[in-house]
A = this chain, B = another copy of it.
Amino acid sequence: MDRSLGDLGAVSGPARVAGPGEGIGADELGLATRNHGLPLEALRYDVTPPGLHYVLVHYDIPDTDAEDWRLTVGGRVLRPLEVDLAALRDLPVVTRRVTLECAGNGRARLTPRPVSQPWLVEAVSTAEWTGVPLAALLDAAGVAEDAVEAVFTGADHGVERGVEQDYRRSLPLATAADPGRDVLVAYGMNGAPLPPQHGSPLRLVVPGWYGMAHVKWLREITLTATPYTGFQQSTAYRLRQEPGEPGEPVTLIAPRALLAPPGFPDFMTRARVVRPGPVPLTGRAWSGHGPVVRVEVSEDGGAAWTDAEVVPDPAHPWAWAAWRTTWTATPGLRHLAVRATDATGRVQPLAAPWNRGGFANNLVQRVEVLCAPEPEDRGPSGTP
C-alpha cells in the first residue's frame, strides 16, 4: 500500500497550478532537462529511433539486472507464476508498432499552468515493441472468477506529493485480458533489448492508452477482486477542475496531429524559415479511440482549413498515420496550424480544455514560419 509520510513534506509538496505570469520554475526546469520529447523533425521516422523516443521517468531509472529479473503473476489467479526472461521468451511472441503519448503532453501551454513536467507538444513517439501478449500470460496463470483488475508494479521507487511509493497502475481485466487490445509484456524495443530509460528489462505496453499505463521496469502483476485505488490511479491521472473532486480517470489517447516543422529553424525561437514557393508539409496523426480519418491544415492560424492527405498503414493499427500536403508559401510571417479528426468523430479543439493535472490536452499545434526570399548574395554552399 502507498504510505503517506508526514515528514516528507520538507521535500514533497501538494499539486498546484502556477500563479498569473509565473514563469517556468526551477522544479519544472529540473524535470524538463532530464526528461525529453521527440525533436519534431524526428516525425520523419515511421519508427522513432530509441534515443529520440520521448522519455518521462517519475522517479529514478532503476539499476536493474536482466539476468536476475523475475516477474511475478499473483493475486486472484489459479497458478501464481514467477518467470525470468528466458521463460518469457519461451512464450508466444508478438511485435506491435505502437504510438505512445504522455498524458501531460501540452500541459505547459495551459493557463493557468499545472506545475509538473512542462511539455509543450512533443511528448509522443512510436516504437516496435516485442514481447508476450498479456492475455497469454494471464491464461497461463489462470484468472480467478472474482478478478476485476490487474495491478502492475514497477521497480521505480520515489515520493510524490508526500506519498512514498513504487510506481503502480491498474487496468480493467476486460482490457488486460483481451487479446484484441494487444496489451504486451515487452522485452524488446525496435529489435533490441529495452534501453534502461524505457523499462529494461520488462515493461507493459498498452496500445491506445496514454503513457502512464505502460508501467516500466515491470516486476509484479497482481489480479485483484476490487478496483485498485493507489496514488497513480486515484490521486494522479484524473481529470479534475477542483482539488477535492474524484475526477474521471485518464485512459485513451485523444486525437492529435503534428506537423514536422518545415524549412529550417532559428536556434532560440525554433520559428521556421522557408523560401517562397511550394513547401511540402508532412507529419503524423493518431488517436487511441480509433483511426484518424481526417487531417486539416490552416495557413492563417486557424481561420480557414484545407484537407491534407492521410496515409494510414493498416498493418500497424496502433501506430500514428502519416499525412501530407503542399503549401504555397508567399513572403511574410505565416502561422500554420494542423488538426486531426478520428473515426469516432473526436476532433482537436482550437481552445484547450483545462483540468488541474493538465492531462489529455490535445490543443491544435501552431507553427510560426517566416517565408523569406533566398538572399541574393548567397555564395557557394559550404564555402567557409
Query: In the complex, A37 Cα to B8 Cα: how many Å?
Result: 27
Query: In the complex, A40 Cα to B265 Cα: how many Å?
Result: 30
Q: Are B42 and A11 in contact (CB under 8 A)?
A: no
Which residues of B are found within 8 Å of A157, using beta-carbon distances?
264
Q: Are B268 and A195 in contact (CB under 8 A)?
A: no
Which residues of B are found within 8 Å of A166, using beta-carbon distances?
381-382
CB of A218, distance to nearest CB on chain B (Å): 12
A314 is an interface residue with CB less than 8 A from chain B: no
Which residues of B are found within 8 Å of A224, using beta-carbon distances?
384
Q: Are A24 and B27 in contact (CB under 8 A)?
A: no
Residues of A at the B interface (CB closer than 8 Å) are 1, 3, 5, 7-8, 10-13, 22-25, 27-42, 44, 49-53, 55, 57-61, 63, 75, 108, 115-116, 118-120, 122, 151, 153, 157-161, 164, 166, 168, 195-198, 219-220, 222, 224, 228, 230, 261, 264-273, 333, 368, 370, 372, 375, 377-379, 381-384
Contact status of A8 and B372, CB under 8 A, knowing A1-B379, A39-B57, A267-B159: yes
Q: Are B160 and A267 in contact (CB under 8 A)?
A: yes
Q: Are A33 and B220 in contact (CB under 8 A)?
A: no
Which residues of B are found within 8 Å of A158, using beta-carbon distances?
264-267
Contact status of A265 and B378, CB under 8 A, knowing A120-B29, A122-B34, A370-B11: no
CB of A234, distance to nearest CB on chain B (Å): 12
Q: Are B372 and A7 in contact (CB under 8 A)?
A: yes
Q: Are A382 and B108 in contact (CB under 8 A)?
A: no
Q: A1-B379, A36-B36 are in contact. List 12 more A-B contacts (CB 8 A).
A: A3-B375, A10-B370, A24-B29, A29-B118, A30-B270, A39-B61, A51-B52, A60-B264, A116-B268, A157-B264, A166-B382, A228-B384
> How many copies of this chain does the complex contain?
2
Nearest B residue to A332 via CB reads B10
Counting from the closest, the 5 A-B pairs by CB-CB distance are A23-B23, A36-B36, A51-B51, A11-B271, A24-B24
Q: Are A196 and B52 in contact (CB under 8 A)?
A: yes
Contact status of A37 and B34, CB under 8 A, knowing A59-B267, A266-B12: yes
CB of A105, distance to nearest CB on chain B (Å): 10
User: Contact check: which of B28, B33, B59, B273 meets A8 at CB < 8 Å?
Assistant: B273
Q: Are B60 and A197 in contact (CB under 8 A)?
A: no
Which residues of B are found within 8 Å of A228, using beta-carbon distances?
384
Q: Are B377 and A3 in contact (CB under 8 A)?
A: yes
User: Contact check: which of B3, B8, B122, B372 meets A266 at CB < 8 Å?
Assistant: B8
Query: In the complex, A148 Cα to B271 Cα: how many Å?
Result: 37
Q: Are A27 and B270 in contact (CB under 8 A)?
A: yes
CB of A352, distance to nearest CB on chain B (Å): 15
Q: Are A273 and B159 in contact (CB under 8 A)?
A: yes
Q: Are A60 and B23 in contact (CB under 8 A)?
A: no
Query: In the complex, A242 Cα to B18 Cα: how many Å?
Result: 34
